[in-house]
Every structure is written in structure tokens, then in C-alpha cells.
């Protein structure tokens, strides 16, 4: 164990430090529906990119207002483009200076400009 490892025995009430709130069954069902809807929206956006019916710039623009699109990882967005696979997407992220964990809404102006210049 590392120097900063924390054991459960240190806390008298371990449940009090857990960050997740307790949800009622109804709240949990609503949250699950919202999550499923967001996944469906992200899948649809990726499919539209793959088919060429929507441009990368329009998806990035939509990510500013749509939470589901804004939370899409940039690497997944690039991999959805025709002719871009996992290896090429990783190389592009490194070349442009985008972290692998970056999401669409978190792109900076230079990063956005570089992606739009490359893919339209």
C-alpha cells in the first residue's frame, strides 16, 4: 500500500464519506432513462458522422448547447469519422495537443480550430 492509502477502519462511519447520493427507486429510474437517452444521442451523432450526413464542426457547435454531445469524448468523435480509426485518432490528438480524456465541450478555441481545419 502507498503512503496515502486510506483504510476503512480509520473512519467510524465509512458511509458518510461516499460521494454518491442515495436515490429513491423513482429517482434512479429517471436517472437511468436520462443516461440511456444521452447514450442514444451520442450513438446517433457518431452514426451521422460516419455516414457523412453531419460535419465535425456542426457537432462541435452542437456540443456547446447539448449536454449529451458536449460530454462525448473527442477521441470517440474522431474514431466515428470515415477513414479515422483508433491509431489515427490517437495520433491526431497528440499532434493537435488534445488530451485523450478531453470531451467536446472542453475543447479550447485553438483545438477546435485545428479540428475544423482538418475535418471541416
pTM of the model: 0.73
Q: Is residue 3 part of a domain?
A: no
> Residue 71 has which C-alpha cell?
460530454
Report the SS3 class of residue 100.
Answer: coil
Average pLDDT across each block of 10 residues of the chain; the chain has 120 residues. List them in order: 52 60 89 94 94 92 92 94 92 93 93 90
CATH number, domain with residue 67 = 1.10.8.50
Amino acid 18: pLDDT: 58
Per residue in 69-92, is it b (16+ CB within 10 Å) or e — as a string?
bbebbbbebbbbbeebeeeebeeb
Number of domain units in the chain: 1
8 Å CB contact between 81 and 49: yes
User: What gap in Å lies between CA 59 and CA 47, rounded to an integer?
Assistant: 12
pLDDT at 77: 93
Nearest to 44 by CA among 78, 80, 82: 80
Q: Does residue 19 sit within a domain?
A: no
> In this structure, is residue 68 part of a structural domain?
yes
- CB burial of 26-42 (b: ≥16 within 10 Å; e: otherwise) equals eeeeeeeeeeeebeebb
Amino acid at each position: 500500500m502507498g503512503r496515502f492509502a486510506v483504510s476503512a477502519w480509520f473512519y467510524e462511519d465509512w458511509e458518510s464519506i461516499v460521494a454518491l447520493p442515495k436515490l429513491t427507486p423513482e429517482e434512479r429510474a429517471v436517472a437511468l432513462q436520462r443516461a440511456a437517452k444521452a447514450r442514444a444521442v451520442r450513438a446517433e451523432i457518431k452514426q451521422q458522422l460516419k455516414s457523412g450526413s453531419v460535419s465535425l464542426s456542426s457537432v462541435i457547435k452542437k456540443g456547446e448547447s447539448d449536454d449529451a454531445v458536449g460530454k462525448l469524448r473527442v477521441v470517440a468523435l474522431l474514431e466515428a469519422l470515415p477513414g479515422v480509426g483508433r491509431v489515427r485518432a490517437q495520433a491526431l490528438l497528440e499532434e493537435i495537443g488534445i488530451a485523450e480524456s478531453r470531451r467536446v465541450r472542453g475543447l479550447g478555441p485553438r483545438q477546435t480550430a485545428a479540428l475544423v481545419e482538418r475535418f471541416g
